[in-house]
Structure 1
Amino acid sequence: MPIRSPYPDVEIPDASLFDFLFTGFGERAGAPALIDGASGASITFAELEGMVEKIAAGLAERGIGAGDVVALFAPNSPHWVAVFHGVLRANAVVTSVNSLYTPGELAHQLSDSGAKLVFTVSPFLDRATAAAAEVGLPAEAIVVLDDAEGHPSLRDLLAGTAEPPAQTVSGADTAVLPYSSGTTGRAKGVILTHRNLVANLCQIAAMGDVEADTKILAVLPFFHIYGMTVMMNQGLHRRATVVTMPRFDLPEFLRVISEYRVGRVYIAPPVAVALAKHPIVDQYDLSCIDVIFSGAAPLDAELGHAVAKRLGCTVLQGYGMTELSPVSHCMPDDRPDLDLNSCGFAIPNVVSKLVDPETGAELGPGGRGELWVKGPNVMSGYLNNPEATAITLDEEGFLHTGDVATVTEDGVFTIVDRVKELIKYKGYQVPPAELEALLLTHDQIADVAVIGVRDADGEEVPKAFVVRRENGTDLTADEVMAFVAQRIAPHKKVRVVEFIDQIPKSASGKILRKDLRAREAAAS
């Protein structure tokens, strides 16, 4: 049965993202919109708008216009934000690129999206130039945010005197083409319109207490939709100050929070592990933190409560995916009493279903099925991939998330696993996420991932890849298996353990199970 959000629908203006975010800064015009956490350099809202207009004008002079795609391949910085909105202001489309991509992966995205220009930074030039050459883009099509000989720069665009073009885009036009993480197959371009992005900002505004005096930490990458919408654009929408970091480094992360007195920190679960367990955390004054919000992967409640207790803050969790712009469910700021294993309620304007993946039957409270989501934040489809679009987006407009969820009578949703990642042990379903959450409570385990592998009899069994903590160097495989066996049903027991140095993860913090499966295949 369809389950509507318990929150009333919000009005969604028919506007471009630029018009929605950059209209009427008022008394916030001279306030810092963005602060570079490393250097302390700041850009006010008025200065940012001026930069965006200049960039749009410079792009128009270079022939970039309506429907053209521009790639943004760089780490987080205030300039990333200016270029992103400059491209949209020029009536063009941004395709945001994972800053860890190899030349081959970047070339695929440039080719698939049809990008005509690439913005990058000089440390990434070797990869950017190799990828551009592979797809036939000339050197002058690579623009650097800093400076590099032989390439136009952001400084050149900002020095121009031309006027920006007239705005021609509407809410129905494509705004961004982020690429899905590729944890199940090759990355696909996700078509998100201006209306999708505007809608999601209006929807999440009803759930959180983000105001003009809020400082938001943006350490998760802007190229990922979580960073793009929830940190970068929410900051602009709510006239809050966004403090940027180019990458996650725990001491620097803690320093930036402490020094800039950041009140709202968005993380992925691996950061929660560090905040709960690492001794260095006690060396910093983190009393400024009001809310830590976790997304991108399920957060275990025990881990979340450990962070909340250690830091004296509220820990919340949400759910989303690139195809949802990205948020569809979250715990509101005023409901910290909700089960922290849950991802809270559906946000305004969202209708959900739980569907049995084997029978197709719609389930109600108490059922366990694939989560389907419908709302104004749902993507238009996958770029150049009608087959994948048809599989994921049905005729009624419901997006089939591939995630298994439950829901209570009160409308509180909990993600329990991925449809395609469930391990089938002797006919029983074993959720890897449940085992991972349990193992992370072991005081000698720093990180863990679980996948299904075949045993000598061809049966699929759970295998745990375990990263020991520094004080856990003597931890054995038998001890790990015994820890699980004492706390869980027999069919869910971990039956194979391998100790590794690091769990492979995407930039947003999702476990790259495909890499672990490839490792397993290579070893067999």
Structure 2
Amino acid sequence: MASSVVKNSQFLTRLFVRQPNVFPQAFSNRLIHKTAGVGQVSASNIVTSNDHVDPITGVTIPEFIWSNLHKWEDAPAFECGVSGRKYTHGMINKLSRSFGAALKQHGLKRHDVVCLLLPNVPEYPIATLGAWEASLVVSPINPVYTPAEIAKQVNGSQSKVIIALSQFVPTVREVQKLSSSLKSIIVIGDAVDGCHSFSEMVKVNSQGVEFARGSQFDTTDELALLPYSSGTTGPPKGVMLSHSNIASNLFQMTRPGYVETNFFEKGDEQDRFIGILPFFHSFGFTVVMAKTLYQGAFTRTLPKFEPPTFIKALREHKPKCVHLVPPLIAFMANSPDVTKNEFVSIRAIMGGAAPIGEALITRLLEKAGKYFFFQEGYGMTEMSPVSHILPGYTKNTKIGSTGVILPGTQCKIVDPSTGAALGANQRGEICVKGPQNMKGYFKNDKATAETIDSEGWLHTGDIGLFDEGECFWIVDRMKELIKVKGLQVAPSELEDMLRTHPDVADVAVIGIPDERAGELPRAYIVRKKETLSENEVKEFIAEKVSDHKKLAGGVEFLPAIPKAASGKILRRELKALYLSKS
């Protein structure tokens, strides 16, 4: 890979040409900041943020992200934690425009879908913004997926191009056999016969090319990002996020008093992040990668979690804010290799993607031997992804809370049985309304209607409550989803696979608690033949799925799967059965 991907910034510097600031002045005038405040509860028990913002409209995501590029275009933006190759913000801007021009020359048209099969590498934002400049739609894919899993997303999104590392090409070749829409492969790394070279495409002259402009279309409707999520239930579905969705969510979360990160101003020290959360996941994509560019921060990317590399990044890069999911928080709290020295530069740790728990957070705070703010957030891919954030003024007095709603957002707690909105300290389903809410699921009106009601409320499937200070707390989950290291596993997907085994009569999959992973998938099976073994079931699944979907939680055989009269699996009974034996 290092032979064809830039090892340093020399050739990029030769390419760099200052780009004019095309960001509309009308929008710049709206950048008026206030301090985070609590919301207000209406007589109908709807919590509304006191910090009002309008949805960001009339600009594309690149136009929005580059609005303040002139302030930090020469500052570093992304550095590879393995090879050391580095790009400045100005280079990311220049190269993404060149890549966008090359994609247009390639014959791709507005609304065509481009899949990214990449780990966290500095080229990820170049490929993403280049696709957006060319009016294309980006669909990120987990690079550890099997060819069958990748093909399912490629076919579902009708993607025409995959951008991948050169070492992933054999996998993509297998995907091509399973897909009729996939036409081209663009490789980052060593040249591969029959594939287009990313390093050559970013040399294309972008002068005079007509790029996407928010003034040309309705940005609230223009599809930009198509990640796949299981939502509240069922197999993964394409989540339609518009330019306005992503831009609005970035604007909401970066208002002062919300996320504990800062815009880079002259005379200030640049914020530094560790890019360990996968960019194919909405948390890593928006809250780390996109926010790096929007706020002028500097991120060291790590393609995968390896303790020595992660600890080295903490020591050398000295991050101000670290974005983590529960397994990484547990590693920092429990590993003897992480000492007080690794916390010296840290001003805040931001956690999300799955419930963290007060005990683990407290252990981490105690280990640091100094004050830093632990900031938990809440959201889902369908909300671009953030709806709640714990504000800094709480100063670790509300550990375990996911905080207040973001500016421009409304939230209510609904009784699942009656649909009535509940008051403070009453448990119910969390429902959210705001400019960050998705357009819907791609070509799946039924799933969209089951998630977003006629009044525009997005039903999260999570059970929570808000206290007298309008801080929200997650207490349970209605949805069947399993979260393994922050990654989604849909029980129905595994159940459908297991039902194809000739010796499986019936099956149910649940998530069981695990200290390191958060949850692990566990299968309960009714056998057709008594000879069917746990190992046979595990191997049957293992060859079909990526690691986080494997049945690491075990397999148990039952005479019957507990079900309601409607035929719905009673997963709570299975969880109670497991806990009674553990």
- TM-score band w.r.t. shorter chain: 0.7 to 0.9
Instruction: Give the match for residue 118 of structure 1.
Output: 162
User: Which whole-Å deviations, capped at 9, do the CAs of 1:94-152 have from their partners, x for residues lacking one?
Assistant: 011111211111111111111111100122212211112211356x6010011232111
Equivalent residue of 1:266, what SS?
Answer: strand
Matches within 5 A, 1:175-194: 175-181=224-230, 184-194=233-243
Q: Distance in 2 between matches of 1:339 and 1:272?
A: 18
Matches within 5 A, 1:344-359: 344-359=403-418
Matches within 5 A, 1:15-414: 15-136=59-180, 141-150=184-193, 151-161=195-205, 163=207, 164-169=209-214, 170=217, 171-172=219-220, 173-181=222-230, 184-206=233-255, 207-211=258-262, 212=264, 213-282=270-339, 285-311=342-368, 312=370, 313-414=372-473
User: Which whole-Å deviations, capped at 9, do the CAs of 1:314-340 have from their partners, x for residues lacking one?
Assistant: 212010100000000110233223421
TM superposition shift of 1:166: 3.1
Change in 2 beyond 3 A, CA 1:50/1:523: farther
Equivalent residue of 1:82, what SS?
Answer: helix
Q: Distance in 2 between matches of 1:159 and 1:453?
A: 51
| Percentage identity across paired residues of the two chains | 32
Equivalent residue of 1:70, what SS?
Answer: strand
Equivalent residue of 1:367, what SS?
Answer: coil
Change in 2 beyond 3 A, CA 1:302/1:290: same
Q: Distance in 1 between matches of 2:210 and 2:318?
A: 39
User: Which whole-Å deviations, capped at 9, do the CAs of 1:437-470 have from their partners, x for residues lacking one?
Assistant: xx85xxxxx56648899899xxxxxxxxxxxxxx
Q: Distance in 1 between matches of 2:455 and 2:405?
A: 18
- Which consecutive unaligned segments of at least 5 residues does structure 1 have? 423-431, 441-445, 457-505
Q: Is the 8 A contact 1:267 1:292 kept in 2?
A: yes
Q: Is the 8 A contact 2:408 2:435 kept in 1?
A: yes
TM superposition shift of 1:286: 3.2
Q: Distance in 2 between matches of 1:294 and 1:231?
A: 12
1:519 aligns with 2:555: yes
Larger mean CA deviation between 19-28 and 160-169 belongs to: 160-169
Aligned length: 455
Q: Is the 8 A contact 2:46 2:421 kept in 1?
A: no
- Which consecutive unaligned segments of at least 5 residues does structure 2 have? 1-43, 265-269, 482-509, 527-544, 561-582
Equivalent residue of 2:387, what SS?
Answer: strand
Q: Distance in 2 between matches of 1:517 and 1:5?
A: 41
TM superposition shift of 1:410: 1.3
1:10 aligns with 2:53: yes
- Normalised by the length of structure 2, the TM-score is 0.73
> What is the letter of the counterpart of residue 73 of structure 1?
L
TM superposition shift of 1:167: 1.9
Q: After the TM superposition, list the runs of 4 or more consecutive aligned residues in structure 1 that deviate by more than 4 angstroms.
A: 450-456, 514-518, 521-524
- Normalised by the length of structure 1, the TM-score is 0.81
TM superposition shift of 1:36: 1.3
Q: Is the 8 A contact 2:97 2:130 kept in 1?
A: yes
Change in 2 beyond 3 A, CA 1:262/1:245: same
> What is the letter of the counterpart of residue 195 of structure 1?
S
Q: Distance in 2 between matches of 1:130 and 1:182?
A: 28
Larger mean CA deviation between 283-292 and 242-251 belongs to: 283-292
Q: Is the 8 A contact 1:338 1:344 kept in 2?
A: no
Q: Is the 8 A contact 1:119 1:145 kept in 2?
A: yes
Q: Distance in 2 between matches of 1:518 and 1:132?
A: 33
Q: Distance in 1 between matches of 2:66 and 2:166?
A: 29
Change in 2 beyond 3 A, CA 1:452/1:95: closer
Q: Distance in 2 between matches of 1:42 and 1:33?
A: 8
Q: Is the 8 A contact 2:233 2:480 kept in 1?
A: no
Equivalent residue of 2:83, what SS?
Answer: coil
User: Which whole-Å deviations, capped at 9, do the CAs of 1:161-214 have from their partners, x for residues lacking one?
Assistant: 354333245412001000015784321000000000011001101212322211
Equivalent residue of 1:10, what SS?
Answer: coil
Larger mean CA deviation between 160-169 and 183-192 belongs to: 160-169
> What is the letter of the counterpart of residue 302 of structure 1?
A
Change in 2 beyond 3 A, CA 1:395/1:515: farther
Change in 2 beyond 3 A, CA 1:205/1:523: farther
Equivalent residue of 1:280, what SS?
Answer: coil
Q: Is the 8 A contact 2:60 2:213 kept in 1?
A: no
